[in-house]
């Protein structure tokens, strides 16, 4: 588990005395999704990691939904601070979590054990829209030393635009691979170029990572039957053929050929004759 004994002043301003609980929920959601992704990879097998990658994203958003949906059970007084937003064009059944005025955005920045100081965001349209809730980027200088403001003229999709204007974008970078979850952070930052470079104004600070995942929603497979336990096709009871003996009169007449099956008797009348 990461060393997170110190409190973050910016997180305390954002979440108040519930800061530690929020951090634990985010860390638990990341741990749970990593465990599910590894389980998918174990079941799929093979030399590639496609199953792990497919279960990882956008699964981390889904795990955050599950974790924060339980607040109405664990902390009913704070339930009105939880909102689930599905941006138009995002995954249909997966929402972004908005909690206490913070819009949570988890993303994997590395598959190695490294610091989030150099984490980069994907330069997708959705990410550029989310920057509307991030701090203003620092100005850039031209060749003559003149400060030029960054341009953010992209329009937000309606459901994002409907969020309160004071919503804060909370970045949650983490590093992981198919061998395990490495590190996780959170902080406030903004995108400053097309390469995904982040300028951090608060953090990134370490997040607690529980040692074990919750078993919520996981079911055990029933005992599987091995092929050696299944009956073979020839292990059943053998059918007994029905035998018919020849009449005594036929046996005394050597000119008649034997009959192997009992012959059907032709009806004396037909259905058409009965109808006439």
Which of helix, strand or coil describes residue 33?
helix
> What is the tens place of the pLDDT at every residue in 218-232?
444 445 444 455 566
> Structure pTM?
0.69
> What is the tens place of the pLDDT at every residue in 92-114?
788 999 998 999 999 999 989 98
| Secondary-structure breakdown of the chain: helix, strand, coil percentages, each rounded to the nearest 5 | 35, 20, 45
Find out whether the peptide bond into 247 is cis, omega within 30 degrees of 0.
Answer: no
Span of 31-35, 140-144, 267-271 with lowest mean pLDDT: 267-271
Q: Residues 171-185: what's their mean pLDDT?
A: 90
Among 257, 140, 142, 242, CA closest to 197: 140
Q: What confidence tier does 208 reach under pLDDT thresholds 50, 70, 90?
A: confident
pLDDT reading at 180 higher than 50: yes
Q: Which helix (H) or strand (E) holds 169?
A: strand 168-177
pLDDT attached to residue 245: 61
Cβ within 8 Å of residue 54, ≥6 positions away: 40
The per-residue pLDDT of the chain, averaged, comes to 77
Contact 132, 165 (CB under 8 A): no
Give the Cα separation of 8 and 13 in Å (integer).
Answer: 9
* β-bridge mates for residue 141, sequence order: 147
Span of 28-32, 152-156, 233-237 with lowest mean pLDDT: 233-237
pLDDT attached to residue 72: 60
pLDDT attached to residue 167: 96
Span of 182-191, 235-244, 265-274 with lowest mean pLDDT: 265-274
pLDDT reading at 63 higher than 80: yes
> What is the tens place of the pLDDT at every residue in 150-170?
556 688 999 999 999 999 999
């Amino acid at each position: 588990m990461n060393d997170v004994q110190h409190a973050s002043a910016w997180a305390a301003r954002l979440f108040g005395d519930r800061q530690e609980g929020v951090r634990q929920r985010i860390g638990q959601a990341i741990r749970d999704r990593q465990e599910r992704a590894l389980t998918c990879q174990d079941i799929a097998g093979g030399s590639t990691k496609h199953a792990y990658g497919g279960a990882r994203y956008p699964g981390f958003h889904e795990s955050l939904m599950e974790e924060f949906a339980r607040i109405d059970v664990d902390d009913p007084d704070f339930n009105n601070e939880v909102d689930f937003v599905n941006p138009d064009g995002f995954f249909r059944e997966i929402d972004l979590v908005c909690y206490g005025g913070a819009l949570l955005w988890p993303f994997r920045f590395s598959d190695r054990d490294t610091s989030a100081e150099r984490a980069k965001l994907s330069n997708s349209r959705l990410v550029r829209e989310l920057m509307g809730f991030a701090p203003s980027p620092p100005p850039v200088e031209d060749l003559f030393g003149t400060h030029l403001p960054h341009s953010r003229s992209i329009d937000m999709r309606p459901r994002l635009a409907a969020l309160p204007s004071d919503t804060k974008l909370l970045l949650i970078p983490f590093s992981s691979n198919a061998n395990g979850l490495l590190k996780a952070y959170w902080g406030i930052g903004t995108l400053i170029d097309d390469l995904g470079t982040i300028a951090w104004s608060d953090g990134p600070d370490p997040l607690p990572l529980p040692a074990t995942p919750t078993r919520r929603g996981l079911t055990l497979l029933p005992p599987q039957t091995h092929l050696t336990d299944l009956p073979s096709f020839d292990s059943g009871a053998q059918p007994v053929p029905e035998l018919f003996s020849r009449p005594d009169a036929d046996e005394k007449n050597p000119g008649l050929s034997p009959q192997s099956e009992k012959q059907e008797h032709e009806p004396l009348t037909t259905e058409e004759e009965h109808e006439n």
